Amino acid sequence: MSAKGWWLFAAMAVLWGVPYLFISEAVSSFSPAAVVSGRTLVGALLLLPIALRRKALRPALRKWPWVLAFGAVEMGGPFFLLSHAEQTIPSGLTGLLVATVPLWATIIGFVVGSHRDIRLLKIVGLLVGFGGVTVIVAGQGLVVTDAASALVAVSEVLLTAVLYAIAPFIIAAKLGDVPSLGSITLALFAIGIVYLPIALLTQHEVPTVRSTVALGALAVLCTAIAFIVFFALIAEVGPVTAPLFTYVNPFVAITLGIIVLGEQLTPGLLIGFPLVLLGCWLAATGGRARRVRTAAVSGVEAAGTPDADIGVAVAPTDPAAVVPGAVVSETVVPGAAPTENTDSASHATRTDPRPRT
């Protein structure tokens, strides 16, 4: 990997590891709906000029019903659930629970019959991963005070992970020929507009400066800039290597929670964390880390959508959906036609619009 690739890799490890800290700070004086609306509208406004320059919006508008469905599953539900959950549970715990996306994606693949084969190690991965979640939650991996409220919040985060696991299937089946940037920008605008009136009705206090700065950072750094950097990383190192930074994201979330917010580190977390990572890797790869004919990433490059300006297949979704275990494996979404070809100008292989989770 080039020096530029390493810098981009490090930037993404931070940009998509820090959102949980910013969400935790923002919800201290913003309502969850206000966080969602502010984050998505500002992010969309910043991405709009780039989307217009690349002529990425028109294809997205032609398939607006599916873009809205994707936005609801990938942004509308998860952004709100995460914001509401972080009013109760620590940011580090939230970041780690979101890391279960590959586990849920594997289960969904089994249910819809999109897995080419069911390996024993994938089943073992599911058991190990969810065992790690049980250890963390039962042992209060990061200490909480109200057990009942914490259980609800944990359920919200796990539901978020399920939604993130579903979103790639929508992209792959219905938005495979739409530029990623267009889908993301349009979806961000739609979700922001939907949540705006709810935000106005639920925001009952004047936000603090600290919460406002956190919300601004969440929108600018973790949404708009993060997508731009992610596009650049894929262009630099390719769609298979790029997502490997996601293994670092939970470390960043937990570390920042402990250092900045004073969240507690306990034996339950120390034991459960590696179990979740191991389970995700086994569930996603079946124990085999190798290149296959196509490559995409659960919750990130799920559709492998070609972007004309980049020359590689990219379909990034939300930062929070980028999780450990998002590596090459063998999941196929029924109805997604393969479109494998090689871009001679960039010498980058465009992958077919089918998730590999």
pLDDT in tens, the chain (357 residues): 788 888 998 998 899 899 999 999 999 999 999 999 999 999 999 999 999 999 999 999 999 999 999 999 999 999 999 999 999 988 988 988 888 888 888 888 888 765 556 778 888 988 998 998 888 877 654 455 677 788 899 999 999 999 988 988 888 888 888 888 999 999 999 999 999 999 999 999 999 999 999 999 999 999 999 888 988 888 888 766 776 777 788 889 999 999 999 888 878 888 888 998 888 888 877 777 544 444 333 333 333 333 333 333 333 334 434 433 333 333 333 333 333 333 333 333 333 332 233
DSSP strand pairing (341-343 vs 348-350): antiparallel
Secondary structure of residue 256 in the 3-state scheme: helix
Secondary structure of residue 32 in the 3-state scheme: helix
What pLDDT shows up at residue 140?
A: 59
What pLDDT shows up at residue 340?
A: 35
Secondary structure of residue 341 in the 3-state scheme: strand
Q: 76-93: string of b/e by CB count within 10 Å (b at 16+)? A: bbbbbbbbbbbebbbbbb
Q: In Å, how far are 85, 153, 216, 262 from 209, measured between CA atoms? A: 22, 26, 10, 20
Contacts of residue 186, Cβ cutoff 8 Å, sequence gap at least 6: 57, 60, 61, 64, 67, 71
> For tokens 């990572």, what's the residue?
277
Secondary structure of residue 343 in the 3-state scheme: strand
Please state, as a whole number, how many other Cβ atoms lie within 10 Å of the Cβ of residue 334.
11
Distance separating the N- and C-terminal Cα atoms of the chain: 24
Please state, as a whole number, how many other Cβ atoms lie within 10 Å of the Cβ of residue 226.
24
Q: Element (H or E) spanning 35, and its range?
A: helix 32-53
Largest Cα span, the chain: 58
Q: 260-299: string of b/e by CB count within 10 Å (b at 16+)? A: eeebebeebbeebbebbbbbbbbbbbbeeeeeeebbbbbb
What pLDDT shows up at residue 78?
A: 94
Sign (positive/negative) of CA torsion 113, 75, 80, 26?
Answer: positive
What pLDDT shows up at residue 333?
A: 36
What pLDDT shows up at residue 240?
A: 64
Q: Report the alpha-carbon angle 261-263-264, nearest 5.
A: 155
Q: Structure tokens of 148?
A: 């009942």
Q: Structure tokens of 250?
A: 């939970």
- In terms of Cβ atoms closer than 10 Å to its own Cβ (0-12, 13-18, 19+), residue 146 is exposed
